[in-house]
Structure 1
Amino acid sequence: MQRVCFQLQVAPDRIEEYTRRHAAVWPDMLAALEATGWHNYSLFLRADGLLIGYFETDSLAAAQAGMAATEVNARWQAEMGEFFVDLDGAPDAGFVQLTEVFHLEDQLDSLQP
């Protein structure tokens, strides 16, 4: 399972609305994420708009391609794009992917004989 962590910047004047929209994501969007391999997906938002996302998937490329093929994702991305600053493309493809430098379970597993 691939662990993916990413960063985006929500416009400070849009934080309240961004948070409200994520309190009740469309059921068909939730179903599409699950069906296309986005698991254990969480978003974390700092007071200044720094957004950190995390999810697990078998393949980032396949998960993104799967969502790109859905009608609901096209609608969601069109609505969500206006919330971000310095975004190159749609939010689900234009994010900055962060490099994992530590994972507890991986290191613990490496200690096992």
Structure 2
Amino acid sequence: MIRKAFKLKVNPGQFEEYKKRHGHVFPELIEAIKAAGASNYSIFLDEDTGCLFGYVELESIDKWNGVSKTDACQKWWRYMEDIMETNPDRSPKSVELTEMFYLA
């Protein structure tokens, strides 16, 4: 199993909207994420900075990266781009985090 952590950023004043939208994630996106072998996917918010911390457990980085190419993910990015920092391709700006400690 691969543990992956990353950070994103939600725009100021959009915390509740971000949470609301994630309460209704597109079923086809959840299907794609699960089909890629991802589990234990969590996103946490630091309200002081607007930074989001994401954590997911994966079977394969290649399968995880493949999710971004699905229609469901592309649709989700279009839906979320107005409340997050995004790249020109509408993907959320994301920074991978380096694991510094793990206690099983």
TM-score by length of 2: 0.86
Query: Does structure 1 residue 54 correspond to structure 2 residue 67?
Result: no
CA deviation digits over 1:24-52, x for unaligned, max 9?
Answer: 21222111110112211000012232100
Give, in whole Å, the separation in 1 of the partners of 2:17 and 2:82. 11
For this pair of structures, how many residues does the alignment match? 101
- Partner of 1:102 in structure 2? 101
- Structure 2 alignment gaps of length 5 or more: none
Paired residue secondary structure (1:16): helix
**3-state SS of paired residue (1:101):** coil
TM-score (norm 1): 0.80
Counterpart of 1:43 in structure 2 is: 43
- Give the Cα–Cα distance (whole angstroms) in 2 for the partners of residues 23 and 58 of structure 1: 25
* AA in 1 matched with 2:99: E
Find the counterpart in structure 2 of residue 18 from structure 1: 18
RMSD between aligned residues: 1.5
- What whole-Å deviation, never above 9, does each CA across 1:4-40 have from its counterpart, x for those lacking one? 0000110112111111001121222111110112211
> What are the residue-to-residue correspondences of 1:74-93 with 2, within 5 Å?
74-85=74-85, 87-88=86-87, 89=89, 90-91=91-92
Q: Partner letter of residue 2 of structure 2?
A: Q
Distance in 1, matches of 2:25 and 2:6, equals 19
- % of aligned pairs identical? 38
Measured in 1, the distance between the counterparts of 2:38 and 2:80 equals: 18
Q: Which one has the largest radius of gyration? A: 1
Amino acid at match of 2:6: F
